[in-house]
Amino acid sequence: MYVKEPNQPAQACVIWMHGLGSDAQNMMGVADVMPSTVPLRHVFVDAPVRPVTLNNHMPMRAWYNIVGLKLMDREDREGILQSEKMILDVITGQLAEGFTSKQIYLAGFSQGGAMALFIGLRSIAPLGGVIALSSYLPLISECEQALIPSTPIFMAMGEQDPIVLPSWTRQSYDWLLSQQFKHISWKQYPMEHIICIEEIRDLSHWLGEQVSLVTCGGEKS
């Protein structure tokens, strides 16, 4: 785990989860180029190393196993729950350092974004928000009992993404709307499976707005 502190006292904490086969350094690069609108602590977490069936069982950093190319092939329940516990421990650590749950944001790209959505929607305590970049919601049926529809969500995707298909991201977005989530910022960009600078600027603006709302006591309900 790596931590990047702001120059001023942090008003919120963003916990970043990288994509399949990547590592925390990848998300550090995103945070490094984010325009600074509010002082944030950024926490970057490495996924465990595990064999990934889709990639010839090669060991790599992965939040859970993927066995095939279909969306349902990405629902390794055991691996997802193991990684959820790992991230919940990170959240507990940040709470112990003085952040409230509403000052904590879960963020991720691809498989990391899937984890951010899954954990964020199952959280008993209300979080500041969830950031899911080029991702989808796995194990939807296990999210239905612990939903907090007031949770702010930033979802973004590439319109030409060949890895996480746009239809998968859109399916998750539509499901969230069906569950009465009212505070979803939806963005799509003419790109493949990457993070673009326009996306980073939009995300930074969204984060600044959300953190300022909580800091001023005017969060949405």
DSSP single-letter state for residue 151: -
Q: Please count the other Cβ atoms lying within 10 Å of the Cβ belonging to residue 217.
A: 6
Beta-carbon contacts of 90 under 8 Å, excluding residues fewer than 6 positions away, are: 1, 15, 43, 45
Assess whether 110 carries a catalytic annotation. Answer: yes
Residue of 22, 83, 110, 204 marked catalytic: 110
How are beta strands 40-45 and 2-4 bridged, if at all? antiparallel
Nearest to 45 by CA among 102, 136, 119: 119
Which of these is catalytic: 193, 202, 205, 212? 193
215: left (phi over 0), alpha (psi -120 to 50) or beta: alpha
85 burial via Cβ count (<10 Å: 0-12, 13-18, 19+): exposed
**Catalytic annotation on 193?**
yes
Name the CA dihedral angle for 152, 141, 138, 81, rounded to a multiple of 10 degrees.
100
Residue 205 is a catalytic residue: no
Q: Are 10 and 39 in contact (CB under 8 A)?
A: yes
Catalytic residue among 135, 161, 172, 204: 161
Go through the chain and tell me how many residues it has: 221
Catalytic residues: 110, 161, 193
